[in-house]
């Protein structure tokens, strides 16, 4: 049975006219008539009664209609499925910063795999500049990076991670929700430095103090900084993502420092400046929380 004949039958019924159905299907009226006649020959019955320019279903036509509609719907769903599979790549190459790799990717990729079971995913961890260059050179399909802007890239805000001060459970400041910066200058300090402009704001606040804070350890690794706090080496400014498990378990306690409240690290998802793929749209619609 020809699916085009089924389509013509359903459209003629829907629009009540051979001419209107032909217009919508971008066919001539004789072509639509020929398709209906072919279907009638296959079924060995008349499907429409012609009443001037109008048509109405015969009893046999009414009986056949729900099956025709179901056949057309199944065909269209199958066609969409095939086209969707062609549009989805077999492999997805993701580039991301260390923090995204550590704290977002382990939660994000299972959702992506559940949506696209056959998708092979390769994750590359690097700094923002390197990931941007790899996306521009088509070595990566998607990048999760700090907030960037480039004329050849689509860059969409994906997640904003607040930077707060964290203490261990029995620290004297634990339990405070907000403290002035003067309260922390005498406390042993671990300073996590990731080199972004957001951290420079914290530096400036420290430089404005009459007495510098007691920074005893510098590190460029958030996990190292967090574990040092857990081991009571000091207190530390950290992005919320890296500490949320320990906060839930009440091993770490966050607080806002008045002078640096509102500082956050922004993560963007970047792709080449083309129509966003279905996968990118899925990621954007399932932003990390």
Q: What pLDDT score was predicted for residue 275? A: 53
Asked, for residue 259, whether it belongs to a domain, the answer is yes
Token pair 């403290």 is found at: 179
The CATH number of whichever domain residue 34 belongs to comes to 1.10.10.10
Among 61, 87, 113, the domain-final residue is 87
The CATH number of whichever domain residue 208 belongs to comes to 3.40.190.10
Asked, for residue 113, whether it belongs to a domain, the answer is no
Asked, for residue 115, whether it belongs to a domain, the answer is no
Asked, for residue 135, whether it belongs to a domain, the answer is no
Same domain, 261 and 167: yes
Interstrand relation of 178-179 and 252-257 (parallel, antiparallel or unpaired):
parallel
Helix-then-strand count for the chain, H and E: 11, 12
Local structure of 126: helix, strand or coil: coil
Local structure of 286: helix, strand or coil: coil
Q: What pLDDT score was predicted for residue 225? A: 92
Asked, for residue 98, whether it belongs to a domain, the answer is no
Asked, for residue 31, whether it belongs to a domain, the answer is yes
Asked, for residue 287, whether it belongs to a domain, the answer is no
* Region class of 250: left (phi > 0), else alpha (psi between -120 and 50), else beta: left
Among 87, 102, 137, the domain-final residue is 87
Same domain, 167 and 253: yes
Total number of domains in the chain: 2
One digit per residue, the tens of pLDDT, for the chain of length 289 reads 788 999 999 988 888 888 888 888 888 989 999 999 999 999 999 999 887 767 889 999 899 999 999 988 888 777 766 655 545 567 889 999 988 999 999 989 999 889 888 888 999 999 989 999 999 998 999 999 988 888 888 888 899 888 899 999 999 998 888 888 888 888 898 988 765 555 667 777 777 777 777 888 988 888 999 999 999 999 999 989 999 999 999 999 999 988 777 788 889 999 988 655 778 888 887 776 6
* Region class of 258: left (phi > 0), else alpha (psi between -120 and 50), else beta: alpha
User: Which residues, 6+ apart, have CB-to-CB distance to 278 below 8 Å?
Assistant: 84, 87, 88
Give the dihedral sign, CA 78/84/86/91. negative
End-to-end CA distance of the chain: 50
Among 22, 53, 87, the domain-final residue is 87
Asked, for residue 184, whether it belongs to a domain, the answer is yes
Structural domain for 203, as ranges = 160-265
Does pTM surpass 0.95?
Answer: no
- Neighbour-count burial for 234-268, b at 16+ CB within 10 Å, e otherwise: bbbbbbbbbbeebeeeeebbbbbbebbeebebebb
Same domain, 165 and 72: no
User: Which residues, 6+ apart, have CB-to-CB distance to 211 below 8 Å?
Assistant: 185
């Amino acid at each position: 049975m020809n699916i085009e004949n089924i389509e013509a039958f359903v459209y003629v019924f829907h629009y009540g006219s051979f001419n209107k159905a032909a217009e919508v299907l971008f066919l001539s009226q004789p072509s639509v008539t020929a398709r209906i006649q072919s279907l009638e020959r296959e079924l060995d019955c008349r499907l429409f009664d012609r009443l001037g320019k109008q048509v109405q279903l015969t009893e046999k036509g009414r009986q056949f209609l729900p099956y025709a509609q179901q056949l057309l719907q199944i065909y269209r769903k199958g066609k969409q499925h095939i086209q969707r599979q062609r549009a989805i790549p077999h492999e997805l190459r993701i580039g991301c910063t260390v923090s995204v790799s550590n704290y977002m990717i382990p939660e994000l990729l299972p959702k992506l795999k559940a949506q696209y079971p056959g998708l092979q995913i390769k994750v590359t961890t690097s700094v923002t500049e390197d990931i941007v260059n790899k996306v521009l050179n088509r070595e990566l399909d998607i990048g999760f990076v700090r907030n960037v802007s480039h004329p050849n890239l689509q860059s969409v805000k994906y997640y904003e991670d607040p930077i707060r001060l964290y203490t261990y459970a029995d620290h004297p400041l634990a339990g405070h929700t907000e403290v002035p910066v003067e309260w922390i200058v005498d406390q042993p300090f671990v300073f996590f430095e990731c080199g972004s402009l957001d951290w420079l704001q914290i530096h400036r606040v420290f430089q404005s103090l009459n007495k510098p804070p007691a920074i005893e350890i510098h590190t460029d690794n958030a996990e190292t900084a967090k574990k040092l706090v857990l081991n009571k080496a000091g207190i530390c400014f950290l992005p919320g993502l890296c500490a949320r498990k320990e906060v839930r378990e009440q091993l770490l306690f966050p607080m806002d420092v008045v002078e640096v409240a509102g500082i956050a690290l922004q993560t963007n998802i970047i792709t080449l400046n083309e129509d966003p793929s279905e996968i990118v749209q899925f990621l954007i619609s399932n932003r990390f929380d």
